[in-house]
Structure 1
Amino acid sequence: MGIPVLFLLCFLVSVLLRSTLHSLILLFRFLSASFLHWFLPRRQQEGEPTLVLYQGRVWHRREKPIFHAFEYDVRYALLDLDRPPASLALSIRRHHMTSQAARNAAGTDGPVFLLTIPSSVGYEQNPLSVYYCYNYDGSDNSLQLKSCIAEVTNTPWGERVSFVFKPGSDLVSKPLHVSPFMDMLGDWNMYADPPGDNLFLRISVQHPTLGNYFTATLKARKAVDSFFWKHNLEMFFWLMPQKVAIWIYWQAIKLRSKNVSFIHHPKYSNSNYREEALLRERKLMGCGESMQTEGICHEASITRDQVLQGNIGSRWCVWRDAKWPWS
């Protein structure tokens, strides 16, 4: 474990130096652009890429084994993956799925909108991104939100899992070791509304012994002066990923100071943890919505053979491995 810890410290120092250098470059570019804008004001053009900017807050609340809660400000972009802004297109292609890949995974035929925190001054940190996948509905081709895709990335490992879930509310067996202060047991209750002037997301954890002991919530509204910020996206999201990372590490230190047990990544002790997560997920889907709602899904008489033989349905779920030295 010595090499990963040393790597983490070196990585944090490199992020600090790189972010400082890129911030100075960004400041120079922003001042230059503002000077030109003063003499050559831009007009909004028809056919510009669809982009909505949100400002809001994230709440985390843990009830067990000790109470711990915090909140912080956050900024998100909601963009049309078929027409991403030119300034974000490279970052989106590098870190996320294409619109067609999302449609194939969700089984939809309409536009796909990605909610994410774009990278800033050379650093990317996205605990959760969401793809909103729409269908064309009826003769008038109105849009109907059919499916969502969650893209969850853990820190510091950089592993990622992407899976489909139903809008409104859906129960998903936990597929990723997100926090060293939570085990792999339990299910995620995912809730998402179609984004509009307001944005709402919620993930709560249903644990077999701790119950509903953890909830993470995002509430946001469309940003004020969005026309100005859409032409200055780098300034709008300046250091936003770094701030999220600081909150993650700081809260980990506070949890450890409260003597919350540190749980090592399951890959060090169980190389089949992903297969076991899929097994739990297929059992969960075999329970049916009524049993999930009543919270008795894990008592269903579904055998391992039934799952392995494909008698129980499964949702689309894909992992991305961690990079060295966490691999």
Structure 2
Amino acid sequence: MEVVYLLSSIITTSITSLALSTLLLLRTLLTRFRSSPPSTSSSSAAAISLYEGTVWHERRRPVHHSFRYNVRYALYDLDQALLHAPPDHLSADEARRVSQTNGPVFLLTIPPSVGYEQNPLSLYYCYDVEGSTPHLKKCIAEVTNTPWGERVRFVFEPNSDLVAKPLHVSPFMDMLGNWNLRTNAPGESLSVVISVQHPELGNYFVATLKAKRIPSELVSDHSIFFWLMPHKVALWIYWHALKLWWKNVQFIQHPRYTNPAYKEEALVRDKKLQCCEALARDNSECVTPLHHPGSSSDGHSRQRWLKWRDAKWPWC
């Protein structure tokens, strides 16, 4: 049944995107005919930065499989981009509350294009202001799986953090791994690195995003700049899933069918993970986890902030 839903979704999305692409083409041609290219206001330019780069994936075990593709992202200043930021994301105030920061908040994401959105990972960069200088303090990861559209958000330390895997992101990975995440503060370039540490397979998977800022004056129309970008990401996901299946990598059923308590178990594993970090640091009793998003400022144990969003119809 899920295969039928998936095919129906692909067909519907294709028809919608084709129709909206035609309208976008007509609008672009009409604008050029009038010799008045779409203008980007100074406030919009200040609120949105454009990045172009490469996503790279490598799976080392049980078979080797790697690929890379070009990608385009937008970085929104959520305090200035109220009318421009894509929907279905946290506001600046919500992100500050979750991350317990007091400064600017930026959202890195792929905007929707011609009626379709595809964002395996969006990141919120949350700054603290001490004196007059903001510095990156926390990040919020927003992970969405394909094709279900389930989502999890969690806070992590940008320099490096280890999080118990909370979401079924691929039918070719089980839920036993931990995610090691790190990112830099976006500037002229940005970098995101995620690796998976597994109790049996070791450090068997890594994904990276390397991108550079595009001068705003080079892009007059964001709709054209991001045209079909989400579709290309989805195409890469499905195509390489097919390749993994062809290589006989084990297909793993969604845990909601085999282990409905997987979310609660992820919380328990993450708390134990924090405890092990503290134990490795001071070789003491496992009572005060290492200070990070899952710990309070005085070192006492706190559950890491994780929030799930269930799949929408027809995947619910």
Instruction: Determine if the TM-score, normalized by the shorter chain, exceeds 0.5.
Output: yes
How far residue 29 of structure 1 moved from its aligned partner, in angstroms, is: 1.5
How far residue 289 of structure 1 moved from its aligned partner, in angstroms, is: 5.2
Match of 1:106 among 96, 99, 102: 99
Cross-structure match for 2:111:
118
Name the CA distance, whole Å, in 1 between partners of 2:178 and 2:106. Answer: 26
Cα shift readout 1:187-218 (whole Å, capped 9, x = no counterpart): 10001000010110010000011000000000
**Residue pairs, 1:70-219, within 5 angstroms:** 70-84=67-81, 86=83, 88-89=84-85, 92=86, 94-138=87-131, 141-219=132-210
Cross-structure match for 1:69:
66
User: Residues 271, 233 of structure 1: CA spacing in aligned structure 2 closer, same or farther, 3 A cutoff?
Assistant: same
Q: After the TM superposition, which segments of 4 or more aligned residues of structure 1 sit over 6 Å from their partners?
A: none
Name the CA distance, whole Å, in 1 between partners of 2:40 and 2:168. Answer: 47
Q: Any gaps of 5 or more consecutive residues in structure 1?
A: none
State the AA in 1 paired with 2:27: R
Cross-structure match for 1:258:
247
1:227 maps to 2:227: no
Name the CA distance, whole Å, in 2 between partners of 1:154 and 1:288. Answer: 28
TM-score (norm 1): 0.87
How far residue 153 of structure 1 moved from its aligned partner, in angstroms, is: 0.3
State the AA in 2 paired with 1:226: S
1:319 maps to 2:312: no
Name the CA distance, whole Å, in 1 between partners of 2:128 and 2:8. Answer: 46
Name the CA distance, whole Å, in 2 between partners of 1:47 and 1:211. Answer: 45
How far residue 33 of structure 1 moved from its aligned partner, in angstroms, is: 2.8
User: Residues 240, 46 of structure 1: CA spacing in aligned structure 2 closer, same or farther, 3 A cutoff?
Assistant: closer
User: Is the 8 Å Cα contact of residues 152 and 160 (structure 1) preserved in structure 2?
Assistant: yes
User: Is the 8 Å Cα contact of residues 113 and 229 (structure 2) preserved in structure 1?
Assistant: yes
User: Is the 8 Å Cα contact of residues 285 and 313 (structure 1) preserved in structure 2?
Assistant: no
How far residue 165 of structure 1 moved from its aligned partner, in angstroms, is: 0.3
How far residue 54 of structure 1 moved from its aligned partner, in angstroms, is: 0.5
How far residue 320 of structure 1 moved from its aligned partner, in angstroms, is: 0.3
User: Is the 8 Å Cα contact of residues 110 and 134 (structure 1) preserved in structure 2?
Assistant: yes
TM-score (norm 2): 0.90
User: Residues 251, 289 of structure 1: CA spacing in aligned structure 2 closer, same or farther, 3 A cutoff?
Assistant: farther
Select the structure that is richer in helix: 1
User: Residues 263, 175 of structure 1: CA spacing in aligned structure 2 closer, same or farther, 3 A cutoff?
Assistant: same
State the AA in 2 paired with 1:28: L
User: Residues 285, 44 of structure 1: CA spacing in aligned structure 2 closer, same or farther, 3 A cutoff?
Assistant: same
User: Is the 8 Å Cα contact of residues 60 and 217 (structure 1) preserved in structure 2?
Assistant: yes
